[in-house]
Amino acid sequence: MKLFDVFLTFLVVVDPIGLVPMFGAITAGASDEYRRRMAVKGVFIAALVLFFFAVMGFAVLRILGIGLGAFRIAGGILLLLLAIDMVFARHSGLRSTTKREAEEARNRDDISVFPLAIPLIAGPGAMTTLLLMLSAAHGRPAAVGEVLGILAAVLVIALGVLLLSVKILSFMGETGANVVTRLLGVLLTALAVQFILTGIEIGLLHGS
């Protein structure tokens, strides 16, 4: 995939703008210093989780005997479900918290690990996308470095958005943020279908 395609895919899956209303809800009434601390810590932990998954993910697939074609199809289906949630602004737990989890988060002193890092930033969709992008790099060190660098850039963008979440939410409102998320969801739908088609092609060629 082209670097811009990789960037766009990560940007759509992480969806920094879509994080704004959720981050605002779980930090409602908190101080600016608390929001800053949770944003920095949450993104840092999400980065650790994703980069660890990048190192160990393929080893897990090999242990389970899962072929690349099958993983691309499964990953594409997962991203398609995620895209449907984004288009219809639904909260299924793929990239957001359930109502019970959100209520639990409001009563926690530290929301950086749960629910901010996992599942809001480093959720199943982000993990799946990361492995799909790395598989497309075919083990080439330069290409792998580019994928990880782009992921880091998207996480930096997410951090910046979270730090400005109050201003963004006051400007766009939750409705505006949902409109952006819906538009990104349409793009993710096409990307997910492409992953599925590529997985089927790999399966037919290599029997994996």
Confidence of residue 63 (pLDDT cuts 50, 70, 90): very high
Q: Tell me, what's the pLDDT at 47?
A: 97
Question: Which pLDDT value is given to residue 99?
Answer: 61
Tell me the two tokens of residue 98. 């359930």
Question: Average pLDDT for residues 113-126, to the nearest whole number?
Answer: 90
**Cα torsion for 155, 25, 170, 96, to the nearest 10°?**
40
- Residue 133 pLDDT: 93
Specify the pLDDT at position 208: 47
Query: Can you tell me the distance from the alpha carbon of 186 to that of 106, in angstroms, rounded to the nearest whole number?
Result: 31
- The model's pLDDT over 126-162, given as tens digits with 9 standing for 90+, comes to 999 999 999 888 778 999 999 999 999 999 999 999 9
What is the C-alpha separation between 120 and 15, in angstroms, rounded?
Answer: 9
- Whole-number pLDDT of residue 71: 86
* pLDDT attached to residue 137: 86
Tokens 């992953």 belong to 195
173-197 pLDDT per residue, tens: 878 888 888 888 888 898 889 889 9
Alpha helices in the chain (DSSP H): 3-14, 16-26, 32-64, 68-87, 99-106, 124-136, 141-163, 165-206
Residues 6+ apart with CB under 8 A from 172: 17, 20, 180
* Per-residue pLDDT band at 92 (split at 50, 70, 90): low
* CA–CA–CA angle 55, 133, 140 (5° rounding): 70
Q: What is the dihedral of CA 81, 130, 112, 21, to 10 degrees?
A: -40
DSSP 144-183: HHHHHHHHHHHHHHHHHHHHTHHHHHHHHHHHHHHHHHHH
Instruction: Estimate to the nearest angstrom the gap between the alpha carbon of 208 and the chain centroid.
Output: 26
Site of tokens 């209520």: 103
* Ranges of each domain in the chain: 3-206
pLDDT value at 172 more than 70: yes
